[in-house]
Structure 1
Amino acid sequence: MNNRIFNFNAGPAVLPLEVLQEAQAELLNFQNTGMSIMEISHRSKPYEAVHNQAIADIKELMKLGDDYEVLFIQGGASMQFDMIPMNFLTAGKIGNYVVSGSFAKKALKEGKLFGATHIAASSEESNFTYIPKQEDIKLSDNAAYLHICYNNTIFGTEWKYVPETNGVPLIADMSSDMLSRPVDFSKFSMIYAGAQKNLGPSGVCLVVIRKSMIENLPENIAAMLRYDTYAKNNSLYNTPPAFGIYMLGKVVRWIKNNGGLEVMAKRNAEKAAIIYDAIDNSNGFYRGHAQKESRSFMNATFRLPTEELEKQFITEATEKGLGGLKGHRSVGGLRASIYNAMPKAGCQALADFMVEFQRKNS
């Protein structure tokens, strides 16, 4: 295992080493079935146990009861940009969106294909350096829902509060910070997350939805694009992304075994502080993109004095075993994704490298 790097990729992203080792040990013969988890039927009892345990563990961590469904859907979080308005943006209703980053903007674009939309708040004028405050959010009349992106991977911003909607269903894309900290999840009518950032490998999107949201969906929606199809069939209407769910279940159990969301939050805050301290104490050599009060604990974004130095930083960091640090093209610079599975040692190694790189190049 000596050749493993500190993986700062935004997604697919770092997974807990213990989870990878467990999966490796079970890969050829899952629970004495004589088959891999990738070979057994999704209708079999061994797989059914994996599937249902993952659901139970997710609801336990989120402290949600039987009024919520946990669904596993393919198509990634991006398909939810379409499924949400298809299912909920009915005639006379208006889809409300807070535009706080690239994926929030994409969600709005898809919503417009299916009905009327309204921008309830936006931070685009600053290139998404902050999260709008509660007083900035102006809901329309006849709002079908308010959609927010809870952590903006590209821009390194994160919501620090749950917005009040006065009864309007609140829907959140939590792809990059799902189960990274305690949140009053009961305030949300729907939460969804592409697994490949903070929950597992790519191929499965986790959807947690209040049952009342799917009681009277429009009839003219195809079966595979209806939330009630997944709810009525325990996400087994067709063959699910079984390996992705298996891995997601192991990551969720790893979170439970390591103290749950309270411990994850403490660890993540400490890890983020290591990197942000390196930025803030650099006398301007490193410049954070996000405003301090909106900084993400999952994605730290920053620039250097020149693009040439940024390229040099990435090259030298990679040689030191610090991978995946190139920022998104819309922001440029560097991005360190420090999800649950990133060890504190990785953040310290990056911070130490940042200090040394500045010393040599300032």
Structure 2
Amino acid sequence: MRYLTLEKALNAWNTLQPISEEDKTRLARRFSVDFNYNSNHIEGNTLTYGQTEILLLFGKVIGEANVRSVQEMVASEVSLKMMVAESRVKETPLTQNFIRGLHHTLLREDYSVHRELPGGMQVGYVVHAGQYKTRPNSVITRYGERFDYASPEETPAMMTDLVDWYNNAEKEGNLSPVDLAALFHYRYIRIHPFEDGNGRIARLLVNYILAKHDIPMVVVRSRKKEEYLEALHAADLAVGAAPSSGANASIKAIAPFLKYFRSMVAQEIDADVRFLTKHGENIWWYDGECIEFRSPNYSKILELMQSEPVLSLADIQRKLNIQISAVKKLVQHLLDKHYIEKGKDEGSWHVFIVQSI
């Protein structure tokens, strides 16, 4: 990591201000794909990063795609836009109506869930969009333990307390926006107010808090899911199992999660800074990672794929004047890393990796 502390990362970001409208657009476009892909992929959405990019930026579905996953991703993008718009009205306090409305937008409509329990027993229930849960929810941790969230009866009062606490804490200013977002996330997750979508709503609300205070929004990366869940689990052990303890946890009590959260925010801000400042024809970005190709032929191939509607391997070989075996090896590497995919038509390509220029 380039900046060892959150403070240094924020200072580096602030020195870039104000950034151009073009750079704002580049960051927003990158964030839209990264956030929606990762937040939904953590919860089991089956769209690839490439499918997500084409869907959100061009409104098209490529390859085989689960209909539900496509609908979830589109609804996630609408929810993201809704959250960003709300964060810009800085004098407006956070409300439960907004949280429930965000949830309704994310889930779209009520739907039924049917599951088979160990032993063959069938159970079914309805997930209510925009309404707090009507049945208890819990999770089996990675260590095999059952962990209960707030009961349906407790949830309305706990959510009232959570929103009131947040609005008061924001006014008082005793917690930094990053620490406030971390503590809000933890308390919210311990309530788990909805029957589904709690993790996705938590990550949207974290970014609502950051954006409201002019701090770059962040992505909890799916490839780092275990680190994220382990930090929450470590905080649970420190806070205690009672839902009321979690819903009223102090910033000191959630130290393991806070340490993770600050580091994650610093890394994400650092990536934004490098995205805007680290340039070169061999420097590209994919899902929050800076890819610096050692061979300039990778960049030449990617640029050709972006500019040519039809491009065969023989075309690449001829334009770059290198052996066809080398072309095949380079293209296969790009395919294996999912930086590119073959298009529907012969010789067409989808390029998902973004050049930092």
Normalised to the residue count of structure 1, the TM-score between the two structures is 0.29
Normalised to the residue count of structure 2, the TM-score between the two structures is 0.30
- The higher radius of gyration belongs to 2
Looking at secondary structure, tell me which structure has more helix per residue: 2
Looking at secondary structure, tell me which structure has more strand per residue: 1
